[in-house]
Amino acid sequence: MTVPNSSSYLSCLWVSMGSLWSEGHSSSILCVDWSPGPTGLVASGAEGGELTVWTHEGVILGRLVLPGQEDVTSATFSPAGSANLYVSHGDAVSVFDPRNLKAPVEDFQSAGEEEINALALNETGSSLAVADDSGAVRILEIPGGKVCRSLRRHTNICSSVAFRPQRPNNLVSVGLDMQVILWGLQKTRPLWTLNLQDMAEEEDDHQQQRPGQLFNPPLAHCVSVSSCGNILGCAAEDGRVHLMRIGSGSKLEQQGAVKAHTQGASQAHFIPFLSHPYWMVTGGNDGRVALWDLSKHPVVAPEGKAQAAAPQRRRGKSGGRRREQALDKSKPKEKSEKAEAEEDDAAAEKQQEEQKSGPKLSISHGDKVNWLCPAVLKGEPSVIVADQSTNLTVYPLSQL
C-alpha cells in the first residue's frame, strides 16, 4: 500500500514545545532514522510490518505494510546516500528505495539467526551489522547481503550494534547479558568485554543508597559512538548511560556513568551535527527526553576530574585499612575524624560533578520512549521521538 503526496497527511499539532507527525502508522512505532543528505528524509517502522517515509517537513512521502506483517524493528539509511533504506523484520532485511516503496530492491532472507533487533551500517555503506535474539551479530557484505562474519559472545539477546567512526574494523555490540563488547573484525574476536553489572556495582559503592531505593540490573538496550570514534555511550535498564573511553590500540581507557533517568534508559545517541561530538540525547521509561553536554565529563575529559578521582579512590581504600587498624586505640578519635573528612570531601566532589554533568535540556515527554533520532529538520537541530503511540513527536533543540 502506497500513499500519494498530500499535505493532508501532515499534522503538526504543537504539544508543549514539540510537534506531532501523525497518520503515518496505525500501531506503535518502534524505530526511526534520518538521512542527513540533501533530501533529509525520515523513515519510521512500526508493529505489524508498517513502514513510512516522511519528508523533513513531516509530510508522508510513502507508506507500506510488509508481507507477513512482522514488526519493523530497525531502519537505517545508507550513509553513502539516501537511495537505499535497510529495514529489519523478523529474521530478514529488506532494502528499499525510499522514494518508491512498492517493492524491495533487495531481500536478505535469514540475515539473522533469530528475530533481528538492530541494524548498523559502516561509514561507506559496504558492511551491514545485524544483531538478533540469539545474541549473535552477523556482518553482511553490501550489496548482495552475503554473511562474511558471525560474531558470537553474547549469552542473551543482542539489542544494539554500532560501527566505530573512523575505525572501519571496529564494531561495538551490547546485550541483555549486560555485556559491552568491542570487536576487531579483522580477526573476528573481541578486543575487550565490559560487564555493566560490575561497573554499576563499583558506581554504587561510592554512593549512599536511599531507603527504599531499588536498582534494576543494567541490561544494555542501546549503544552509540561519538563521531570522533573514541567515546561509547550505552543506555541501560538501571537508568544510567554508561560511558567508555577508547584509547590508542583500541584499549578501554576509562569508564563511568551518567544518572540519566529514574527508570530504565532505553535510548542514547550522540549528536553529530552540534558544536562538538559529545552532545548526547537520551530517553527512558520515565517518559523523559534529555540533552547532555558530556564534553567535561571525566570519561570524555580525563585530564580534569578523572585524574583527580583516582587518588580519591585510593585514599578511600587506605582509609578502610586505617579503620581496621582502629583496634590499636592510640589515636582513635583523630583517625575517625580524618576518615569522615575524606568521605565528606568525596561526597562534595561527587555532588559538584553531578551538577556540572546534568542535562542541558530536559523534556517531560510523558510516554515511554521506544526510539530517538537526532535530525536536522527544516534547517533546525531536532530530536524525533517514537513512543508507545502511533505518532512521532519532534522537539527542536534551538534553545541551545
Strands in 59-103 per DSSP E: 60-65, 72-77, 85-89, 92-96
Strand partners of residue 50: 65
How many domains, the chain? 1
What confidence score (pLDDT) does residue 168 get? Answer: 87
Would you say residue 92 has pLDDT above 80? yes
Cβ atoms 154, 177 nearer than 8 A: yes
Which range of residues forms the domain containing residue 197? Answer: 19-206+214-300+359-396
Mean pLDDT (whole number) for 124-150: 97
| C-alpha torsion sign, points 266, 60, 143, 94 | positive
pLDDT at 213: 47
Tell whether 348 is covered by a domain: no
Pick the residue with more confidence: 24 or 323? Answer: 24
Residue 3 inside a domain? The answer is no
pLDDT above 80 (res 147): yes
pLDDT digits (tens, 9 = 90+) for 288-307: 999 999 999 999 997 644 33
The pLDDT of residue 399: 62
Q: What is the largest CA-CA distance in the chain?
A: 86
| CATH code, domain with 41 | 2.130.10.10
pLDDT of residue 206 exceeding 60, the answer is no
In a domain, 33, yes or no: yes
Q: Give the DSSP per-residue string, 255-299.
A: EEEEE--SS-EEEEEE-TTSSSTTEEEEEETTSEEEEEE-TTSTT
Q: Mean pLDDT, to the nearest integer, of 347-369?
A: 75
Distance CA 394, CA 382 (A): 7
| pLDDT at residue 149, rounded to an integer | 95
The yes-or-no verdict on residue 341 having pLDDT over 80 is no
- Let me know if residue 313 belongs to a domain: no
162 in a structural domain: yes
Q: Does 10 reside within a domain? A: no
Tell me whether strands 288-293 and 50-54 are parallel, antiparallel or unpaired.
unpaired
Q: Round to whole Å and give the CA distance between 388 and 47.
A: 10
Determine the pLDDT at residue 358.
Answer: 86
**Which of 75-79, 356-360, 380-384 is the least confident region?**
356-360
CA dist 214 and 397 (Å) reads: 32
11 within domain boundaries: no
Closest CA to 29 of 383, 369, 395: 369
Cis peptide before 143 (omega within 30 of 0): yes
CA distances 357 to 56, 292, 294, 298, 360, Å, are 32, 7, 7, 10, 9
Among 10, 7, 18, 3, CA closest to 397 = 18
Confidence class of residue 10 from pLDDT cuts 50, 70 and 90?
A: very low
Place 16 in a pLDDT band, splitting at 50, 70 and 90.
low
Confidence of residue 336 (pLDDT cuts 50, 70, 90): low
Residue 353 has pLDDT above 80, yes or no: no
For residues 208 and 343, give the distance between their C-alpha atoms in angstroms, rounded to a whole number.
Answer: 11
Residue 326 has pLDDT above 50, yes or no: no
Per-residue pLDDT, 349:
61
Task: Enter the C-alpha cell of residue 287.
Answer: 517518559
Mean of the pLDDT values across residues 151-175?
96
| Cβ-contact 209, 202 below 8 angstroms | no
- Residue 199's pLDDT band, with cuts at 50, 70 and 90, is confident
- The confidence score (pLDDT) of residue 347 equals 54
- The three-state secondary structure class of 218 is coil
pLDDT in tens, 210-241: 444 456 999 999 999 999 999 999 999 999 99
Q: Looking at 67-71, 72-76, 80-84, 159-163, which range is the least confident one?
A: 80-84
Measure the CA dihedral 14/20/23/28, to 10°: -140
Statement: residue 79 has pLDDT above 80: yes
Element (H, E) at 70: none
pLDDT of residue 270: 98
Cell 541490561: give the residue: 219
pLDDT band at 81 (very low <50, low <70, confident <90, very high): confident
**Does 4 map to a domain?**
no
H/E stretch holding 337 reads helix 332-356
